[in-house]
Each structure stands twice: as C-alpha cells, then as structure tokens.
Structure 1
Amino acid sequence: MRVRNLLLSSAVAAAALFGASAASASTCVGNCGTLGPNGDVTAPPEGGPNYGYVSTVNGVDGVGQIAGVGGTNGSEFISDVFGAQAGDPLAFYFNYVTSDGSQFTEYGFAELLTAAGSHVAYLFTARTTPSGNTSPGFGLPANSATLTPATTPIVGGAPEWSALGGHSNTCFGPGCGYTGWIKSVYNIGDTGNYKVKFGVTNFLDEDYDSGMAYAGLTIAGEPIGNAVPEPSTWAMMLLGFFGLGSALRRGRRMAGVAAA
C-alpha cells in the first residue's frame, strides 16, 4: 500500500508540474516554436516579447495549405479549443516573412475552425508579391477579419530571421521580405467552441523558406494559449518525470526489502 501511495503521489506531483500543458489540445505539424525579438522580427505590439511561429524549414509535405490552393511542404499550428459568445472579438498579430520571391508564390494564413475542425472563416491570407498588398494574397480567399494597418506591403530585401534556417538573410528575387506586425480582429458570429489554425507553405518548390510569426491570440481580451510550452515548463516537466522515476526505483527497493 505504501509503495502504491508513493507512486500515486509522484504521478500527481508530475501532473501538477505539467500544468495546463498536460491538458493542452493545441497541435503542431511540421516546424513550430517560440522566439523573442530576432533579426527583422521585433517584439509584437501586445502579448510579447515572445511570439509563436510556423516555418516551412523542414516542413511536411501537404501541410500548411489552404484547401484547393495546394503547395509543397509546410507547417501548421492549431490552438487550444476555446469557447466564445456571439460578437466576441478574436484578435491576434501576425508577421509574414519570406526569403522567396513572387515567382514561387509561397503563402501563409490563419483560419478559424469549429472545435470539430470545420472551416468558419479565413482571418487573413498572405502571399509573396513584389508590389502592392501581401494580404489578402492573390489567388487566395479574402480576409474575413479587419486588419490594422489595412495596407500590407512587403518590406523588401533579404529578411534576417532565425526561423528561416539557412535561408535567413537570403532573397531569391522580388517579393521577399516581411510585412511587420499586423493586427487581425474578427467578431465571432455564433456562440460555440472554436480553434485557430496558422499555416505556411512553400509553393511549386521546397527551397527558399518562409514563415509566419503570431502573438497576442485572445478571445474577448482573454489569452487563448501558447504555441509551445515555455522552456521553464519543459524543465518542470523533466523534473516531474525525474521525480516519478525516482519514486518507481524507491518503490521497487522497498518492495524487495519487504519481500526479504
């Protein structure tokens, strides 16, 4: 009985260290993570200094795409499920970054989904272009959200950002660069449970990568969740596993002594 209680206590302690991360329903396919101010991507206006990102670096084939548009390889992050009332504002900031040019027309987007995964609205779409607005991206669905600023020209040149991997500070051709932080606000239509999907994909090729930073994801002013556990959370999780492993070893020794 004592061994069982010891193991149970350690498991509970480990679960406590996990906190919300253990119950998180957020998912990533491909390359997702968190960064602070880095190169051309500064701290976001709200919810900073850290932000989440998705990148086509080491992306997965067929991932990070808009249905019917296509692409090659990419990444996507889907937030925790959250409840919302009709009229609640869903808000966040995004910054689209690409080392490619308009020839290969890479793109990124944010999509509102029901909790079951059905499409509700495109919160923004963005695509490489040498002039004019990157959002909404040409050949992509229109934005259902209001963007601030309303114009989204690319800041041209070779973007410096570590999430681009070996293509940081490189530029294939006209259209590469970054948008800077843009705010997206969408008013929920119907009361229910939802999640947000952020996706980015290469297009026609798998070279000269792109990515998207996002931050300050809130519903009615309340944070929805983080892209990945913070480093301190990972450390606590490891400590929890260590504690559980130690308890198991102690339990085996105690059982051996009792048997003797």
Structure 2
Amino acid sequence: MAKGLKAVFGLGVAALGLAMVPSAASANVCVGDCGVLGADGVVTAPPIGGQYRYVTTIGPDGGGDIPGFAVGEATNGSNFTTSAFEAQAGSTLEFYFNYVTSDGSGFSDFGWAALNGGSGSLTLFTARTTPSGDTVPGFGLPGLAPGVVLDPASTPIIPGAPVWSPLQGSSGLCFSTGCGYTGWIKSTYTIEEAGVYTLQFGAANAVDTIYDSGLAFAGLVIDGDPIDPTPGIPEPATWAMLIAGFGMVGFVARRRRSDMAVKAA
C-alpha cells in the first residue's frame, strides 16, 4: 500500500514539475537587451493587457539588424523572436508598438518588426528617428509591407527627452531634434500564405552607440489567439497541468486519511 501511495504521489509531483517547466517549443529568443514592463515613464500600459515587452539598442554589434536588409550605419542593438505559431492564408496578425528614442538628427536609430517563415522574412514596418514628419516607415529602410494597416495612420514623434527606464543612462536625455516617442500604434496584417511563423522585433543604434532607443510591443495575436501570452501568466495548457498536479496530491492526502481511519477502526 505504501509503495502504491508513493507511486501516485510521484505522479502528482511529476505533473506539477511538468507544469512549471515550459516546453522547448514555446520558448522565446532574445539577443541583447529585452524585458517586460508595465506603465513606465512616457510608455503607458498598452491598450491590451497591463504589460508589454521591449527591446533596446543596448545590445551587441549587429543585434538590431533587420533580417535580409543591410543598414550601413547600423551599429549595436537587440532583437526578440516569439515562439513559432501556425497561420492560415487570410489569418489576421495584430500587435501594438511604441518607438522611443533619445537620439536625434544625424544619428537616426530605428526599430522594426519582421514576420519570419512561409516563403522567407517579411519586414512588416520600420520606425526611425526623424526631426519632423512620420517615423514610420523609416527613411532609407523597408517601407510598410503591402497589406499592413496602422492605427493611427500617422506616426509623428511626440517630442521631448523621453523618460523610460529601459533606456538606462539615456532616460531623460535628448540629442538634438527628433527625440521622443510615438505612443501606442496598432499594426494589422493579413497573412497571405499558410505556414509556421515567428514574429521578430528589433532596435538598432545608428552611426554611434550612445543615446539609446527602444521599441515596446504588446497584444500579439493571430486570429484573436495570443502568440505571446501575457508575461508571468501561465498558458491554458499549463493551468491544466497545474490543476491535474494539485488534484493528484489532494487524492493522495484523502486516500492516506481513509487508510488511517480503517486501521484505527
């Protein structure tokens, strides 16, 4: 009997252990400086959920390069890639982004998003420091992919020295005109080809490696289903394993009490 109880208890512990270790297939990948935040400085909580992810230009050389597109003046940066997800032809991809920069004229940092998979890599949008006009698409960079819709459609910088902790030593600083942030912008794209994809976000310094910039992003969904669940909240499958694990442990406890009562009688 004791061995049987230990075996059942072991199953419960194993279920708990599996629940707490994410599968390799669900792993995200970060190169350089990535993180998770709620409302902080000029970056408010995103329209969907209370948290967002971000990448900054505080990263290795080439870390913020756009896949398949060489930017001669790009120096260091970071990028974040989501776990893989399936999409059908006609699937709707949505997310929000907010470009933040402390660098101005002559040192035009940039941020971007790319959809990788299917027939290759597609740059969905680029955002770049500019003294006036829209930051998207970034000058000298790929434009909006055909079919991408931004809301709002205009993307001028909200000027000023941006206070945002991910910029670290550059937070609250501004070099020349063009510093600031865009505020949250919604991007919607209809996928043309069925396949398995990843979504990638990056930010890169230009010309030098000082006066940093960053890209915040949130609300990543495909046909309404989350691609990157809210950080810190278990996915539905994980909740199911947790419940199963705790249920098994509860069963063992009840069984032990029952056995003890029988013996006492």
Shift of 1:167: 0.8
Provide the secondary structure at the position in 1 that maps to 2:169.
helix
AA in 1 matched with 2:199: V
Deviations 1:175-215 (A, max 9, x none): 11000000100000011111111000001110011001000
Provide the secondary structure at the position in 1 that maps to 2:133.
coil
Provide the rounded CA distance (Å) in 2 between the counterparts of 1:111 and 1:9.
42
- Does 2:159 align with 1:164? no
Provide the rounded CA distance (Å) in 2 between the counterparts of 1:164 and 1:49.
20
1:21-60 matches, cutoff 5 A: 23-46=25-48, 48-57=49-58, 59-60=59-60
Provide the rounded CA distance (Å) in 1 between the counterparts of 2:61 and 2:125.
22
1:178 maps to which residue?
181
Mark the runs of 5 or more structure 2 residues left unpaired by the alignment: 236-265
1:109 maps to which residue?
112
AA in 2 matched with 1:52: R
Question: Do 2:125 and 2:144's aligned partners in 1 also have CA atoms closer than 8 Å?
Answer: yes
Identity rate, percent: 55
C-alpha spacing 1:190/1:173, structure 2 compared with 1 (3 Å): same
Shift of 1:226: 4.1
Shift of 1:230: 2.2
Question: Do 1:115 and 1:194's aligned partners in 2 also have CA atoms closer than 8 Å?
Answer: yes
1:83 maps to which residue?
86
Provide the rounded CA distance (Å) in 2 between the counterparts of 1:97 and 1:163.
10
Provide the secondary structure at the position in 2 that maps to 1:189.
coil
- Does 2:192 align with 1:199? no
Please report the RMSD computed on the Cα atoms of aligned residues, expressed in angstroms. Answer: 2.4
Shift of 1:102: 2.4
Provide the secondary structure at the position in 2 that maps to 1:134.
coil
1:213 maps to which residue?
216
TM-score, scaled relative to structure 1: 0.80
Question: Do 2:98 and 2:215's aligned partners in 1 also have CA atoms closer than 8 Å?
Answer: yes
Aligned residues: 227
TM-score, scaled relative to structure 2: 0.79
Which shows bigger deviation, 121-130 or 131-140? 121-130
Question: Do 2:25 and 2:83's aligned partners in 1 also have CA atoms closer than 8 Å?
Answer: no
1:237 maps to which residue?
none
AA in 2 matched with 1:179: T
Deviations 1:49-102 (A, max 9, x none): 100100122x11111112211411100000111101111110000000000112
Return structure 1 stretches of 4+ with deviation > 6 angstroms: 4-9
- Does 2:99 align with 1:96? yes
Larger Rg: 2
Provide the rounded CA distance (Å) in 2 between the counterparts of 1:188 and 1:27.
22
Provide the rounded CA distance (Å) in 2 between the counterparts of 1:30 and 1:9.
38
Question: Do 1:81 and 1:115's aligned partners in 2 also have CA atoms closer than 8 Å?
Answer: no
Question: Do 2:25 and 2:84's aligned partners in 1 also have CA atoms closer than 8 Å?
Answer: no
AA in 1 matched with 2:219: G
